[in-house]
Structure 1
Amino acid sequence: MRWTLKPEPNSEVVQELARSLSIDKTLATLLAQRNVSTFEEAKKFFRPSLEDLQDPFLMKDMNKAVQRIEKAIEKGESILVYGDYDVDGTTAVSLVSSYLKSFYNRVATYIPDRYEEGYGISYKGIDFASDNDFSLIIALDCGIKAIDKVAYASKKNIDFIICDHHKPGKEIPAATAVLNPKQKDCKYPYDELCGCGVGFKLITALAASRNQTIDDLIPYLDLVATAIAADIVPMTGENRVLAYFGLQVINSNPRNGINAIIHQLNKKVLTITDVVFVIAPRINAAGRMKHGNHAVELLTEENFEAAITIASSIEKYNLDRKETDKKITQEALLQIQENNEEDRFTTVVFHEDWHKGVIGIVASRLTETYYRPTLVFTKSGDTLAASARSVKGFDVYNALEQCSEFIEQFGGHKYAAGLTLLPENYQFFKTKFEEVVTKTINPELRTPEILIDAEIELSEITPKFFRILQQMAPFGPLNMKPVFKTSCVRDNGYGKQVGSDKSHLKLSIIQGSDRKTYNAIGFGLGNKLSHIQNDFDIAFSLDENEWNGVKSIQLVLKDLI
């Protein structure tokens, strides 16, 4: 691991923040690093308000989208709400469909089958709409590159409203309305919304003509917060406001489906981290192992007992998913070793029997092991399908663009993408991808980085310091939980390896002449027990630990040297 200390922000800004907010220099530094430079900006940061949300009609084509939906309602047309099978797609479909159904009954949902139809809008989905007399499709979290599909639908007299957040191509589909703040000619002030976030802007615009306010839409924010957490979009601007209030809904009055998932847990208050690692994987498991329809059924179910039944089924899918991705990860690691590919700049592996629903998770696990851009392929019909994952700082989407001569279809983000190619092009692609990454990746990016916000003394960790730190949540990209460095600490002599496989490290740390001990846990750092015989440096974040009803501040170690 390489430790990188963030650059010092403007000292005058830090001093003024410390003075006006009556906080210490370290906390003021953390705020300045997050582009908070004035008292007013700090107030908005610490006290998010729904009034800070942008006017939805600033988004290109929003007027057209609202007018087309209102026309459909007025004429009694059937509306199909269509979305991808991942968390962002299924939450978005659940959000828009349940809102429309609150005042209009000719609404149905459609989630494509991951295996038969693949990602995004499908011809099969359009045929389903045509066969069942749907004249309007609202596509969520997909569609920005579906030029041929939208044209095909148009020939069948089906209009499209596209609500997407993925990077547009050179050509935009000829839909009735395209809502995507990443369009070059879209003047919407915030372009980092997830798909469900764009869907929320659509229902906010629809609500305006029904004399509804943002307060009427708060019950939908549990879905938006779940999508924001799962899709790993920046936790800034509108995303932070929506996630903040969405978490409140999750913890106070969640919809039956989310409540049914929480019901299985022994946790009173959920954080964004819990949403990422507990709620999102279960919603995702439906589309990975069975069908995304199950996730929409769960998230729109109005009877709690029925939701409990669906959640139990999804829990089984999630257990199957865990077993499957563990098995495939082991097979992929063996393939890399057998082919002597440990020293490459990329990981590209393939087996025709690997489960398509988990190859994205396997790609993430391989990236953790070898820390390099990774693609995991499996057979999908007549083509090979892959999930791509990248390392921090390297744009895998751009790298794939440079290999497009061997690719049939691809889409995604800087750090995660999906693609298909013909079997005969696999080796050509693998060679080309290795060449592109070797030429373009900064050598530093091949070593995992710990980005450190500030260097502190352990004595600075007071209850007030921790309380203010907690108010910086929800955490996520561009507002990550602060990481600190403390030098020359030592263990009090009782440090030990813990966990069933002794893979974790539990310490009681002291610094200098201060006799106070600080409890620390280092997950996955059990092999560093020998490092604690003498003084050592630690990189860590802070968390609250509860044991037998007693709460205390705990250091969560990222690394020690």
Structure 2
Amino acid sequence: MEKRWVINEPPPAEVVEQLATSLKISPTLASILCQRSVCDFEEAKAFFRPDLTALHDPFLMKDMALAVNRLNEALHTSEKILVYGDYDVDGTTSVALMYSFLRQHTERIEYYIPDRYKEGYGISTQGIDWAAEHGFSLIVALDCGIKSADKIAYASTKGIDFIICDHHLPDEDIPKAVAVLDPKQIDCPYPFKELSGCGVGFKLAQAFSIQNDLNMEEVYKLLDLVVVSIAADIVPITGENRILAYYGLRLLNSPQPMRPGLEALRELAAITTDMDISSIVFGFAPRINAAGRMGDAKNSVGMLLADTKEEAFRMADIINESNKERRTKDSDITKEALQMIEADDFLRNANSTVLYKETWHKGVIGIVASRCIEKYYRPTIILTHSNGKASGSARSVHGFNVHNAIESCSDLLEQFGGHMYAAGLTLPIENVPLFRERFESYVTNTITEEQKIPQIEIDSNLELNQITRNFYNIVRQMEPFGPGNMRPVFVSECVYDTGSLRVVGDSHLKLRLTQDGFSSIDAIGFGLSDYYKPISKGIPFDVCYTIEENVYRGNITLQLRIKDIRIN
């Protein structure tokens, strides 16, 4: 698939020069830092040396004092407290964090995760009824609740108070809970707006500890859960999130034993090197998510809260089996979806994809939509049968607002919600053909030619002889990488293979690159074997890539991970 290379706008030369001089680094590295809003010595110091003392005062968050006071009241009067959270990674880590923190102060506490298929997302009437039947008078809701004004009102008729810890955009109608902690509220003065749901829960634990003069080190021990939520929920790893993620990863990589549940996940994912954001995203997150997609998300919380390695591994095995089932269904449905597109002239040439099949598993259709975009780069909606309706997930391409596209067909829908790049929707099955037609029309009339081509953002042009161990070590200190601070991508022009070109696996290229006669460097390009023939003829080409370490038989060398190739 053709990709568009977009080189980031270089910062002002004088700013780059001053930063390079003050840090004693190359202008290329200084430019990359400036692109990340790190433009002077003090900003660089904060960036390279994150400090827990730089975390914001949690009491700056609207309603924080109310939340802490209500928690204290519940603990002092031995009320029953229910920790309630969503079924995805952010929700389950949030519940594990708050439950493990509060159970140090009370035994009258339980947790509740709604059933994805019976109760749906967020606060459910069934969950509130269960709390009332079991004598709970306070619910701490995490990663959900900000859009549940009606459910919170219902809970008050049952004598149940709510503390909401959420990070999603609120509606105009803010729930009338005892406290609503959400930095995205218009009138919330909290300086950092991009916390994960688990991050908001962490701030509540931090505030509670400050007010009750507790040892803050006990709160910091929860950062392993916070970094998992940050990585999995794809929130920006900037500002306060960068500090939380940095220290969370230090916990995961410290010589001290890891939380048993996370250690079990690490072994199941066969992660043998230090943990980073990518290993959480690809190793931990799918397994934790699979419990809610295929079975019961309470298994994920149980694993994260396990006190012993034996208990953790028992729960992790259950989760891993759910993940295997998820992967099988994901693969089978993706194959079927792609075959449907390829067999239909209209679908193959359309500007969007809308597919419906009643037998597809609801828990994986969002993943399938993303897989389809890898093959057909365009806004995609995958629908299946659920409770007598067509229910589905939408995913989008860079720069295109799929939520707006769905909203343009709202008269055909029963409900929908989401944001620019991902959304969910429900509609009568008989409306699917007309919805497909209207959605395609909207996309055709609004999508630009650029949005139809996947893009690679490139930080800087780089000569291969600039890639030294010292250069790489400074790049590595920019971790943790993620949204807002992606791993730097470079482009090198007119490079050649030295003659070691070969195809490895089914479709991967292994090369050794040189440029202008300078010393060569190893490179690998996954899925790029189509370029074997022109490269083997000695034709010069351009590459865009990231730099990484390759460990082979105990030897550590630098190599390029090629993202794309352009033959000159």
Count of residue pairs the alignment pairs up = 558
Larger mean CA deviation between 207-216 and 160-169 belongs to: 207-216
Number of the residue aligned with 1:167 = 169
Q: CA deviation at 1:432?
A: 2.8
Following the alignment from structure 2 to structure 1, what is the Cα–Cα distance between the partners of residues 119 and 443? 30
For 1:329, the equivalent position in structure 2 comes to 334
What is the aligned counterpart of 1:519 among 519, 522, 526? 522
8 A Cα contact 1:218 1:249, kept in partner = no
The reply to whether residue 84 of structure 1 matches residue 89 of structure 2 is no
Per the TM alignment, residue 220 of structure 1 is displaced from its structure 2 partner at its CA by 0.6
Deviations 1:382-432 (A, max 9, x none): 322211211122222333333333333333332222222232333333233
2:242 partner amino acid: R
Letter of the structure 1 residue corresponding to residue 499 of structure 2: G
| 1:115 and 2:124 are equivalent in the alignment | no
Q: Is the 8 A contact 1:18 1:25 kept in 2?
A: yes
Q: CA deviation digits over 1:270-320, x for unaligned, max 9?
A: 111101000111111111111100000000011111111111221111111
Match of 1:349 in 2: 355
CA contact (8 A) 1:90 1:295 kept: yes
SS in 2 for 1:82: strand
**SS of residue matched to 2:561:** strand
Are the aligned partners of 2:75 and 2:105 in contact in 1 as well (CA < 8 Å)? Answer: no
Matched, 1:147 2:160: no
Residue of structure 1 equivalent to 2:318: 313
Cα contact 1:363–1:388 (8 A) shared by 2: yes
Over the matched positions of the two proteins, sequence identity in percent amounts to: 52
1:461: how far off? 0.3
SS in 1 for 2:378: coil
Q: Which of 188, 204, 207 pairs up with 1:205?
A: 207
Does 1:549 find its partner at 2:549? Answer: no
Distance 2:57 2:215 in 1: 12
CA contact (8 A) 1:166 1:413 kept: no
Match of 1:459 among 455, 465, 471: 465
**Worse-superposed segment, 66-75 or 317-326:** 66-75
Rounded Cα–Cα distance in structure 2 between residues aligned with 1:236 and 1:129 = 37
- 1:325 & 1:507 partners in 2: Cα distance? 32
Task: Summarize the Cα distance change of 1:178–1:401 in structure 2 as closer, same or farther, 3 Å threshold.
Answer: farther
Question: Are residues 1:245 and 2:251 paired?
Answer: no
Distance in 2, matches of 1:390 and 1:87, equals 21
Q: State the alpha-carbon separation in 2 of the partners of residues 428 and 128 from structure 1.
A: 40
**Aligned to 1:487, what secondary structure does the other structure show?**
strand
Change (3 A) 1:266 1:97: closer
Q: What is the aligned partner in structure 2 of residue 3 from structure 1?
A: 5
Structure 1: distance between partners of 2:168 and 2:111: 21
* Contact preservation (8 Å) 1:14, 1:25: yes
1:266-277 alignment to 2 at 5 Å? 266-277=271-282
Structure 1 residues 107 and 283: CA distance shift in structure 2, 3 A = same
- Which of 417, 436, 445 pairs up with 1:430? 436
Equivalent pair of 2:290/2:319 in contact (CA under 8 Å): yes
Amino acid at match of 1:465: F
1:213-233 per-residue CA deviation (whole Å, 9 max, x = no partner) reads 543212111111001111111
Structure 2: runs of 5+ lacking an equivalent: none
Are the aligned partners of 1:73 and 1:104 in contact in 2 as well (CA < 8 Å)?
Answer: yes
Structure 1 residue identity aligned to 2:117: Y
Matches of 1:384 and 1:49, distance apart in 2: 49
3-state SS of 1:417 partner: strand
Q: Matches of 2:292 and 2:415 in 1, distance apart?
A: 21
Q: Residue deviations 1:156-213, cap 9 Å, x none?
A: 1211221111122222222221111111111111111111111111111111122125
Matched AA of 1:521: I
Distance, in Å, in 1 between the alignment partners of 2:350 and 2:544 is 29
Mind listing any 5+ residue stretches in structure 1 that lack a counterpart? none
**RMSD, aligned α-carbons:** 1.4
Q: 1:158 to 1:293 in 2, by over 3 A?
A: same
Q: Aligned partners of 1:191, 1:439: CA distance in 2, in Å?
A: 34
- Check conservation: 2:291, 2:300, Cα contact below 8 A: yes
Partner of 2:483: 477
Equivalent residues in 2 for 1:189-268 (5 A)?
189-252=191-254, 253-264=257-268, 265-268=270-273
Comparing 384-393 with 192-201, which one deviates more in the overlay?
Answer: 384-393
Residue type matched to 1:69 in 2?
L
Contact 2:511/2:522 (CA < 8 Å) preserved in 1? yes
Counterpart secondary structure, 2:137: strand
Per-residue CA deviation, residues 232-254 of structure 1 (Å, 9 max, x unaligned), is 11111111111111111111242
TM-fit CA distance, 1:478:
1.3
Mean alpha-carbon deviation: is it higher for 41-50 or for 379-388?
A: 379-388
Of residues 293, 296, 301, the one that matches 1:291 is 296
Q: Tell me whether 1:449 sits opposite 2:458 in the alignment.
A: no
* Residue number among 279, 282, 295 corresponding to 2:284 in the alignment: 279
**More divergent stretch after superposition (20-29 vs 148-157):** 148-157
Task: Give the AA of the match of 1:259.
Answer: E
Partner of 2:97: 95
Report how far residue 52 of structure 1 moved: 1.4
Q: Which amino acid aligns with 2:213?
A: N
The one-letter code sitting in structure 1 at the alignment partner of 2:515 is: Q
> Residue deviations 1:443-466, cap 9 Å, x none?
211100011100010000011000
| One-letter code aligned to 2:86 | D
Matched, 1:528 2:528: no
Q: Match of 2:492, SS? A: strand
Alignment counterpart, residue 15 of structure 1, candidates 14, 17, 35: 17
Give yes or no for contact 2:271–2:279 (8 Å, CA) kept in 1.
no
Structure 2 equivalent of residue 410 of structure 1: 416
Question: Which amino acid is 2:376 matched to?
Answer: Y
Q: 2: distance between equivalents of 1:544 and 1:43?
A: 25
* Secondary structure in structure 2 of the residue aligned to 1:254: coil
342-351 vs 243-252, which deviates more?
Answer: 342-351
Distance in structure 1 (CA, Å) of the matches to 2:534 and 2:144: 49
Deviations 1:324-352 (A, max 9, x none): 10000011112223333122222111111
Residue 46 (structure 2) aligned to one of 44, 47, 59: 44
Q: Decide which moves more: 532-541 or 74-83.
A: 74-83
8 Å contact from structure 1 (residues 166, 412) kept in 2: no
